[in-house]
Every structure is written in structure tokens, then in C-alpha cells.
């Protein structure tokens, strides 16, 4: 019987350390060619300045299939509604039956933080102690938690254009992470002192000067997920060893890379590897202490699938779930009323028939 996992359920059963391990295994399977993950399909709703994104993924080894639907409607803020709406469907791919319906917002947040953590684990210097963050919105706590799980962070430096949001982030997350969090007055103050730098904004122009980067800095660029968005300048991408979550996704959507490519500043060959190749050891990590490394992330449907699988199994083990059914208690499919003109659900097979 399918289960529903709310945001509250997921908060209780998903741990960052387990999500990191699940994603590391997922990237390893991706690099081995054991999954099918098409580039997400966008559907733009121009009159509302919004977009729907559909993200399916199939993992052969675990025999798992799932699809995330996420929408981004910036105008929702004027209505007091979240700009992001999302749901995840987890299926058993053999009979095709639905296993779980779960909140996609928390799932996206924790898997994105975990992906950055995997990249940090492989690319950042092991003695990195200062984490810098530009942007302190909803995704930022998960980024901070993920990095702190894989490196001995002693100080977090943050900057946000809205000072009150930065102060709230510090007050809330410093005791949770047990790390002092300082609000800085500029991105420059953050960048020049950071061993690891996370950018998680919705900017359409670079948010810091690449000349400010210390030798040996690792960057997780998370915010830019469309060709028009950009957090990094030409200097940064030219100085860095670039690792992407996937070639297909970043070459289709990452403005951080596409904009300087179009200008002839870098090329496709400037990308050193995808994260799966690094995790599997197909390509080397950073080899020099003073080398700047960059993880460019636009989001990847396999990240959602492996995290959703983890949540499903933890829910089944703990009993943390709400069960539901589309069928009659007798086990027979209920005959439904007419759905649209001339379309009905067949009671025997529950398929659309004209």
C-alpha cells in the first residue's frame, strides 16, 4: 500500500550523514552507467512568470524509479505563498505501482546539501576550517550542515543582501551546528577568509570577485540553475578545476559556465570531470594544495531518487508514515465518474479508455 511522507515525516527520518552516503553511492552507480536520468524537462508558464520542472530517474541496481515535479513561481511572494512547490513520486518499476508520495521541498533541500558535501569530501582540502556562505535562504542550512559533516569547520562566515536574514540564519544555525557564525559586511570579507565557499543565491550576475579567492579554496556553486543565472565571474571559472554534477545538466542549464563559454572565456574542455567520475576514481581529484576547485551544481534527478529511496525505507522501518489507497477496501478498483469528455477509468485495469 502506498505511503505519504510529509515534510515533518522527512525531517524526522532523514539524517544528513545517511543522505551523503546515499548520494555518494548514487553518483558511483551513475558513473558506472547503471541508471537512466534524462535532463529535466521544463514547462514555462509565461503569463505567471513561472516554470514547472519534471525530473524522472531510474536506478537499475536498486530497481528504483521516481519522478519529482517542482515549480518555481517568484510572484508567489506577493501572495504570501512559497515560490517553490514540489512533490515526489516513488514507484516500484516492475509492476509500476506507486510506493510513496512525499514532500519534494525538504527532499530537494537535503539532497542538494548532501551533493555539495560529497563534492567537498573529494575536492576540498582536508584541513579546511573556515566555511564562507553567500546567500542564507532556505537552502543554506542544508549546505552548511553538509559541509560541516565532512570537514572540521570551526568558523562560518556569511553574507546576505538582507542583513536580517543573515542574522536570523546565524542565530538559528550556530547552536544547531555548534559552530560560531559571523555576519560579514560584504562578499569580499567572506571570500578572502574562506577555505570552502558556498554560493546559494538567485543572482543573474557574479556575486564576488574571483581575484579575492585564496589559493586552495573549494567552491560549491549551487544557486545558478538556468542559462541566464550567474554567481561566478570569468576569473573564478578560469582559475578553477571544474567538476559538474552532470555534463548534460550543466551544459544545458549552468549559466556560470554557459555565459563564459559563449564569450569564449572557457570551453567544454575546461570541465575536468563530473562528480561520478571523481567518486569512482576515473579522474583525479585536486592534486595541488593551492589549486582552486569548483563544484558546479544545477540539480540531478538521481539525487532525488536515492534520497527518496532512503526516506521510504526509513519510514517503513520506523512506522513513520500515512498509508492510503486508490482502490476499494475489497482490493478491486473503484469505478470512477467520467474524467473529462469521453474519458473513463476502466474498473478492471484502471487505464484510460476512450
The predicted-structure confidence for 148-160, as pLDDT tens digits, reads as follows 999 999 999 999 9
CATH of domain 122-299: 3.40.50.720
Q: What is the pLDDT of residue 72?
A: 85
User: Hey, which residues are catalytic here?
Assistant: 68
Which segments of the chain belong to CATH 3.30.1780.10? Answer: 3-107+303-353
Q: What pTM was computed for the model?
A: 0.88
| 324-346: average pLDDT | 47
| 298-325: average pLDDT | 88
Other Cβ atoms closer than 10 A to 107? 28
118 contacts 23 by C-beta, under 8 angstroms: yes
Q: pLDDT for 65-92, tens place per residue?
A: 999 999 988 888 788 888 889 999 999 9
C-alpha cell at 328: 476499494
Q: pLDDT for 164-181, tens place per residue?
A: 999 999 999 999 999 999
| 31-49: average pLDDT | 90
Q: What is the pLDDT of residue 116?
A: 98
> Topology of domain 3-107+303-353, per CATH?
ornithine cyclodeaminase, domain 1 (3.30.1780)
| 259-265: average pLDDT | 96
Residue 18 dihedral angles phi and psi, to the nearest 5°:
-70, -35
d(CA 202, CA 83) in angstroms, rounded, equals 12
Strands 181-183 and 155-159: parallel
Closest alpha carbon to 160 in 196, 203, 128, 98: 203
C-alpha cell at 65: 524509479
Residue 349 — very low, low, confident or very high, per pLDDT cuts 50/70/90? very low
- Statement: residue 270 has pLDDT above 80: yes
71 contacts 89 by C-beta, under 8 angstroms: no
Amino acid at each position: 500500500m502506498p505511503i505519504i511522507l510529509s515534510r515533518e515525516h522527512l525531517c524526522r527520518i532523514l539524517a544528513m550523514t545517511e543522505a551523503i552516503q546515499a548520494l555518494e553511492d548514487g553518483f558511483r552507480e551513475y558513473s558506472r552507467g547503471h541508471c537512466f536520468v534524462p535532463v529535466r524537462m521544463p514547462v514555462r508558464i509565461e503569463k505567471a512568470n513561472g516554470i514547472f520542472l519534471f525530473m524522472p530517474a531510474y536506478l537499475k541496481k536498486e530497481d528504483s524509479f521516481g519522478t519529482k515535479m517542482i515549480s518555481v513561481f517568484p510572484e508567489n511572494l506577493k501572495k504570501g505563498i512559497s515560490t517553490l512547490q514540489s512533490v515526489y513520486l516513488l514507484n516500484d518499476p516492475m509492476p509500476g505501482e506507486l510506493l510513496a508520495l512525499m514532500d519534494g521541498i525538504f527532499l530537494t533541500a537535503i539532497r542538494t546539501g548532501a551533493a555539495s558535501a560529497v563534492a567537498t569530501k573529494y575536492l576540498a582540502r582536508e584541513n579546511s576550517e573556515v566555511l564562507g556562505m553567500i546567500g542564507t535562504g532556505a537552502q543554506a542550512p542544508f549546505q552548511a550542515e553538509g559541509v560541516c559533516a565532512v570537514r572540521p569547520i570551526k568558523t562560518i562566515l556569511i553574507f546576505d543582501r538582507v542583513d536580517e536574514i543573515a542574522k536570523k540564519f546565524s542565530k538559528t544555525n550556530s547552536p544547531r551546528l555548534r559552530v560560531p557564525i559571523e555576519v560579514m559586511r560584504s562578499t569580499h570579507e567572506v571570500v578572502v577568509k574562506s577555505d570552502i565557499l558556498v554560493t546559494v543565491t538567485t543572482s543573474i550576475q557574479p556575486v564576488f570577485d574571483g581575484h579575492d579567492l585564496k589559493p586552495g579554496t573549494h567552491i560549491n556553486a549551487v544557486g545558478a540553475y538556468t542559462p541566464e543565472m550567474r554567481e561566478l565571474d570569468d576569473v573564478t571559472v578560469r582559475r578553477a578545476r571544474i567538476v559538474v554534477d552532470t555534463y548534460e545538466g550543466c551544459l544545458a542549464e549552468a549559466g556560470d559556465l554557459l555565459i563564459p563559454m559563449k564569450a569564449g572565456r572557457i570551453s567544454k574542455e575546461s570541465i575536468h570531470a563530473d562528480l561520478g567520475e571523481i567518486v569512482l576514481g576515473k579522474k583525479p581529484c585536486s592534486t595541488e594544495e593551492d589549486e582552486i576547485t569548483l563544484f558546479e551544481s544545477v540539480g540531478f534527478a538521481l539525487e532525488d531518487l536515492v534520497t527518496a529511496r532512503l526516506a521510504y525505507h526509513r519510514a517503513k522501518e520506523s512506522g513513520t508514515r500515512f498509508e492510503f489507497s486508490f482502490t476499494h477496501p475489497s482490493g478491486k478498483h473503484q469505478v470512477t465518474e467520467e474524467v473529462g469528455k469521453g474519458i473513463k477509468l476502466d474498473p478492471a485495469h484502471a487505464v484510460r479508455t476512450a
